[in-house]
Structure 1
Amino acid sequence: MSALYRLGQVLKGSLGEYVISKQVHDTVWFALQEQVVIKAVPNHYRVQHERDLLRQFKGKVQHLRPIIDEIRDPAEPLAIALRHLDDDLYTASKQKMLNRKELKYVSKRILESLKALHQEGFVHTDVKLDNILVNYGTDDADNRFSAVELSDLGSCSQVDSKFAKECYSIGAPLWRSPEVLVGLPWNTATDIWSFGLCLISLIYGGEWHILRPKVSYDHEDFDWLILVNMFKWFGPIPAKYQDLIGNNEDSDSDKIIQALFNTVPKDDRGSFNRASLNEIRIQDRDLILKIMKMDPRDRPTAEELLQDPWFELIEEAGVWDTFNKDV
């Protein structure tokens, strides 16, 4: 147990008291009276940043994990109490593949959260299955989830911040967009790329990730091999991408892109467009191809994706029919 809190310690918040019951991460604990998640990071801005953002969006966004309380005693480090949910989507989907109704239910709620963040000028920066939380328990036999919430706003950034403009690296490597990996400025479109990767993993099921290299995470070429896989599945990078790089042909970004063209044969680029219909439904493939654009300017917004006909379709005996938009 971390020295920060001890098992059984009582934390006093503005609205209640919470007893530490389990440590689940270096900076995260479960606590009771009402079961909550306590998050505290000594000498770091992340918790304060997440607290301030959740205050700002409180009552405005239904599918962001909300703040429940702020811990006052002990006063240091700054700690917040967050809603506890049953599971994260990575674990839930690994245990049991999502059916069609669950897939749309989850996707819609993720996009609604991203739409709200993006409209206020924020980029989540760390959209991945681990950060999408779910509750179980519903009377609907076709949908095991009663709630879906996007979590972990600690690294959320304003779209016009120096982090975005100066090409700071964000998120976990497997979920990063092409512009992040090649060292270019990023914006809300980077979240859309990450959402697309989530969707692909949920459609195919299990622990499969389309961009995962066949090397360990600590391999020196891990990030490069992710880029190679991007190029193979969703490439090539269009010529107009040069507008994002500028005229400096000696820039690291330009060199990386030229290396990709030299590494991946022409016939191997854009393989997802050739995915077999025995492997993936054509409606799913078409939606993914709308999202997974190498140029961030070509990706749809969260708001546009919420209007996509994909949400109005359901499979019945192999036939796709119009379905209620609220699924």
Structure 2
Amino acid sequence: MTTAALNIGHRLRGRLGTYTLTRQLYETVWLASNTQQEPVIIKAVRHVRLENERQILKRFPDATVPFRALIDEIQEPQDPPALVLKHYDSHVGEVADKKGLSAREIRHVARRVLEALRVLHENGFVHTDVKPDNIMVNLSSNEDGDGDMRFKDACLADFGNTVSVDSEYAVNGYPLGTPIFRSPETTLILPFGPPADVWSFGATLISLLYGEGFDIFRPDVPVDHELYVDKILTRFHQFFGPYPKTYLTLPGINDEVLELLIHIISTFPPEQRKPFQLASRTEISHRDRDFICKIMKLDPRDRPTVQELLDDDWFQEEVEEHEHGNEREAAGGSETT
């Protein structure tokens, strides 16, 4: 990967417009403005991930699909290659960590992510990197805010690691994505498919429900520690284990993986297990807890599809809360007139 040789004030010409760089956000990501002074995001880097994202976004140009939209492609300069993407106010992880999210906001974001994943899965793709930082949101102004709903829009972003289900990455197993949000099968470098995204969605949902920077599978050692991955696998067992006997028939399973899992199960003190299904109401509502437990199945063959999750009664609470809120507002209004 090469670093974009760009600077603040640099003007880039695309197929549809001209963009001026205003701030560097990350090594390869810039904030820019178009000729109408509207903000956009520029991703500029010579790397296969950028080309992969371009291909995925061009394949699904429908504006109703909740993907971060591709606005333009930079023609000058040609090196490094660059994409112009829709700007969002923040990612949902930042909002959750700073201010927390209402139940209605969480369900709105969850629905949008599942709708995006449904499009990918129905077309034979796996996102592989679902996490709070890759869910973008636009915030309402105070005047436009609707009670406990601050989000005008939400979408899934970063398709650089998105792969087809018949790619060598999925068929042979390759640890794509962010370790603490990876599924067990991906972490174990086994073949994976759409159920891997379902697990990552569940891990993301836990982080959003708890807020304050909480990630349930984050180990107590640095990322570069030799036991980092083993500790993640141990936390899978601690909260959602034990690893089931059905792992014996998982595609790609081998003696080395089985020995590792047996070691984790046999050496982890039983009194330190914290089954998520026993989480108390002081931590999380039982309705949220039960929905999470439907998702977080260690065997990918036991996980629901995104469509089954979208059809779950858990989302009905979003509708009921909104309707009850409107009724309370109407009642309150009638009392004061």
Shift of 1:275: 1.1
Name the SS of the counterpart of 1:59 in structure 2.
Answer: coil
Aligned residues: 315
Deviation per CA, 1:80-100: give whole Å up to 9, x if none: 100010001111111111011
Name the SS of the counterpart of 1:64 in structure 2.
Answer: coil
Shift of 1:62: 2.6
Q: Distance in 2 between matches of 1:275 and 1:121?
A: 35
For the pair 1:142 / 2:151, whether they are aligned, the reply is no
Query: For the structure 1 residues 100 and 3, does the alpha-carbon distance in structure 2 shift closer, same or farther, using more than 3 Å as the test?
Result: closer
Deviation per CA, 1:185-214: give whole Å up to 9, x if none: 111111111110111111112101111122
Contact kept in structure 2, 1:234 and 1:269, CA below 8 Å: no
Indicate the residue corresponding to 2:117 in structure 1: 114
2:257 to 238, 253, 256: 253
For the pair 1:166 / 2:175, whether they are aligned, the reply is no
Contact kept in structure 1, 2:16 and 2:72, CA below 8 Å: yes
Q: Distance in 1 between matches of 2:127 and 2:190?
A: 17
Indicate the residue corresponding to 1:92 in structure 2: 95
Contact kept in structure 2, 1:291 and 1:300, CA below 8 Å: yes
Identity %: 43
Deviation per CA, 1:281-320: give whole Å up to 9, x if none: 11111100000000001111111100000000159xxxxx
2:277 to 264, 273, 278: 273
Indicate the residue corresponding to 2:66 in structure 1: 63
C-alpha RMSD over aligned residues = 1.8
Indicate the residue corresponding to 1:199 in structure 2: 205
Indicate the residue corresponding to 2:307 in structure 1: 303
Contact kept in structure 1, 2:4 and 2:80, CA below 8 Å: no
Query: For the structure 1 residues 190 and 304, does the alpha-carbon distance in structure 2 shift closer, same or farther, using more than 3 Å as the test?
Result: same
Shift of 1:182: 1.6
Which aligned runs of 4 or more in structure 1 are off by greater than 4 angstroms? Answer: 245-248, 266-270, 321-324
Name the SS of the counterpart of 1:313 in structure 2.
Answer: helix
Indicate the residue corresponding to 1:129 in structure 2: 132
Shift of 1:277: 2.4
Indicate the residue corresponding to 1:13 in structure 2: 14
Name the SS of the counterpart of 2:155 in structure 1.
Answer: strand
Deviation per CA, 1:94-116: give whole Å up to 9, x if none: 11110111111111101100111
Deviation per CA, 1:24-59: give whole Å up to 9, x if none: 1111111112311111212x2211211111011111
Contact kept in structure 1, 2:132 and 2:204, CA below 8 Å: yes
Gap regions ≥5 residues in structure 1:
316-320
Name the SS of the counterpart of 2:19 in structure 1.
Answer: strand
1:286 to 280, 283, 290: 290
Indicate the residue corresponding to 1:318 in structure 2: none
Shift of 1:63: 1.0
Gap regions ≥5 residues in structure 2:
324-337
Shift of 1:279: 2.0
Using the TM superposition, name which of 136-145 and 118-127 deviates more.
136-145
1:72 to 47, 71, 75: 75
Indicate the residue corresponding to 2:335 in structure 1: none
Q: Distance in 2 between matches of 1:288 and 1:279?
A: 13
Indicate the residue corresponding to 1:263 in structure 2: 267
Name the SS of the counterpart of 2:166 in structure 1.
Answer: coil
Indicate the residue corresponding to 1:184 in structure 2: 190
Indicate the residue corresponding to 1:45 in structure 2: 48
Indicate the residue corresponding to 2:329 in structure 1: none
Deviation per CA, 1:210-269: give whole Å up to 9, x if none: 111222222221111111111010001111111015675xx3211221112122244555
Q: Distance in 1 between matches of 2:81 and 2:243?
A: 44
Indicate the residue corresponding to 1:242 in structure 2: 248
The structure where helix makes up a greater share of residues is 2
Q: Distance in 1 between matches of 2:17 and 2:161?
A: 27
Query: For the structure 1 residues 204 and 78, does the alpha-carbon distance in structure 2 shift closer, same or farther, using more than 3 Å as the test?
Result: same
Q: What letter corresponds to residue 57 of structure 1 in structure 2? A: F
Indicate the residue corresponding to 2:161 in structure 1: 155
TM-score computed with the length of structure 2 as normaliser: 0.89
Q: What letter corresponds to residue 67 of structure 2 in structure 1? A: L
Name the SS of the counterpart of 1:146 in structure 2.
Answer: strand
Name the SS of the counterpart of 1:54 in structure 2.
Answer: helix
